[in-house]
C-alpha cells in the first residue's frame, strides 16, 4: 500500500467533508508497515499538494490523531506513529449509562443533577478547539439505584455550537435527547480507561473513602461528521460496576 494508490485519493465531489476524508486517509497511512516501524510520515505540505486540500485541513486531521495518541510530532524533526502503550479497541455500539443499565435490567436514577457554565481545562479546549476564556456548559450527574448507594459520578462538557442549556430534560437518556432536540447524531467515541483512588471530592459523592479504588473512564464523543460533541469523565465505584468490552479478533494478514 502506498499513498499514490487508489486507496489514498480524496473525492472532491463527495458530500463527505474534506477533513473527514483526510482523517480517514491518515488512519490508513499510519497502518503502513514502514510508518509503524518508525519512518517519518510525509510532510503536511506534500500531502496537501498531493490531495489537493489546504494545510489547515491536513493540520485538523493530524491534531485529532495526535490528541488520540496515535502520532507524535516533534518540531524540526517530523511526525511519527506513536508506539502502542495500551490496548485500543473499537466498540460495535455504546449507549448512555442509563440505557446500558436498562438493558441489564437495572433501573438507575439521578441522585444528583447539576448544570453550570464552567471554564474548561486545557484538555477540553484542545478537544473542542475552543478558546480558554470561553465558558462551556457542564452537566454533573450522580447515578445509582433508587434505594441504594451511588454507582457512578459523571461530568460532561458539551461543544458550544450545540446550544445545550439548563432547560433541557437531563432525566432522559442523553444521546436520545441530543438527537431529538438538536439533531446531533453521535457516531464514534474514544475512551481512556484507568484505575485511581477516589480522592476527597469524588469519594464524598460516591460515599466511599478517599483511598477507595474507582474506575475512571474518559469518553471523547464525535458526531457523524467527525465533529466533537461531548467530553465526559465518569468515576465508577469498583464494588458496584464492572466495565466489559467485547473484542472481535481482526483477520491476520
13 and 74 within one domain = yes
Inter-residue contact 160 to 124 (CB < 8 Å): no
CA atoms within 13 A on the CB side of 98: 14
Q: Is the pLDDT of residue 154 over 90?
A: yes
- In this prediction, residues 247-252 reach a mean pLDDT of 55
121 with 228, same domain: the answer is yes
Other CB atoms within 10 A of residue 111 CB = 18
109 and 64 in a single domain? The answer is no
Work out the number of other CB atoms within 10 angstroms of the CB of residue 177: 17
178 and 205 in one domain?
A: yes
Asked whether residue 219 is domain-assigned, the answer is yes
Quick one: 117 and 230 in the same domain?
yes
**Host domain of residue 208:** 97-237
Q: Per-residue pLDDT tens for 48-70?
A: 999 999 999 998 888 878 877 78
Of 189, 191, 211, which Cα lies nearest the Cα of 200?
Answer: 211
Q: Is residue 117 part of a domain?
A: yes
Q: How many domains does the chain have?
A: 2
Alpha helices (H) along the chain: 18-29, 33-36, 44-51, 55-67, 97-103, 122-128, 174-182, 199-206
Task: Report yes or no on 159 lying in a domain.
Answer: yes
**Confidence (pLDDT) at 85:** 47
Residues 108 and 219 reside in one and the same domain: yes
Residues 20 and 130 in one domain: no
Regarding whether 121 and 62 lie in a shared domain, the answer is no
For residues 181-189, give the mean pLDDT: 88
What is the reported pLDDT for 229?
Answer: 95
Q: Which residues contact 182 (CB under 8 A, 6 or more apart)?
A: 162, 163, 164
| pLDDT digit string, tens, across residues 113-148 | 999 999 999 889 989 988 989 999 999 999 988 778
pTM: 0.61
Q: What is the reported pLDDT for 33?
A: 87
**Residue 88 above 50 pLDDT?**
no
Residue 180, domain CATH: 3.40.1410.10
* Same domain assignment for residues 208 and 144: yes
116 and 222 in a single domain? The answer is: yes
| Structural domain contains residue 170 | yes
Amino acid at each position: 500500500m502506498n499513498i499514490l494508490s487508489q486507496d489514498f485519493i480524496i473525492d472532491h465531489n463527495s458530500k463527505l467533508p474534506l477533513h473527514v476524508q483526510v482523517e480517514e486517509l491518515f488512519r490508513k497511512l499510519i497502518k503502513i508497515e514502514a510508518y509503524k516501524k518508525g519512518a517519518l510520515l510525509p510532510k503536511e505540505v506534500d500531502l496537501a499538494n498531493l490531495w489537493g486540500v489546504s494545510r489547515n485541513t491536513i493540520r485538523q486531521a493530524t491534531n485529532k490523531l495526535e490528541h488520540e495518541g496515535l502520532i507524535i510530532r516533534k518540531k524540526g524533526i517530523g511526525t511519527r506513529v506513536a508506539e502502542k502503550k495500551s490496548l485500543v479497541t473499537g466498540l460495535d455500539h455504546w449507549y448512555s449509562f442509563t440505557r446500558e443499565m436498562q438493558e441489564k435490567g437495572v433501573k438507575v436514577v439521578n441522585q444528583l443533577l447539576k448544570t453550570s457554565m464552567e471554564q474548561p481545562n486545557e484538555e477540553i479546549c484542545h478537544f473542542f478547539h475552543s478558546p480558554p476564556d470561553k465558558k462551556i456548559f457542564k452537566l454533573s450527574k450522580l447515578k445509582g439505584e433508587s434505594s441504594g448507594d451511588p454507582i457512578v459520578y459523571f461530568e460532561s462538557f458539551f461543544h458550544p455550537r450545540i446550544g445545550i442549556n439548563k432547560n433541557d430534560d437531563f432525566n432522559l437518556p442523553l444521546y436520545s435527547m441530543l438527537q431529538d432536540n438538536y439533531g446531533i447524531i453521535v457516531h464514534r467515541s474514544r475512551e481512556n480507561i484507568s484505575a485511581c483512588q477516589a480522592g476527597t471530592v469524588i469519594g464524598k459523592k460516591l460515599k466511599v473513602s478517599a483511598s477507595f479504588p474507582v474506575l475512571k473512564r474518559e469518553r471523547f464523543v464525535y458526531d457523524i461528521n467527525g465533529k466533537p460533541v461531548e467530553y465526559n469523565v465518569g468515576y465508577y465505584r469498583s464494588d458496584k460496576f464492572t466495565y466489559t468490552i467485547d473484542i472481535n479478533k481482526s483477520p491476520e494478514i
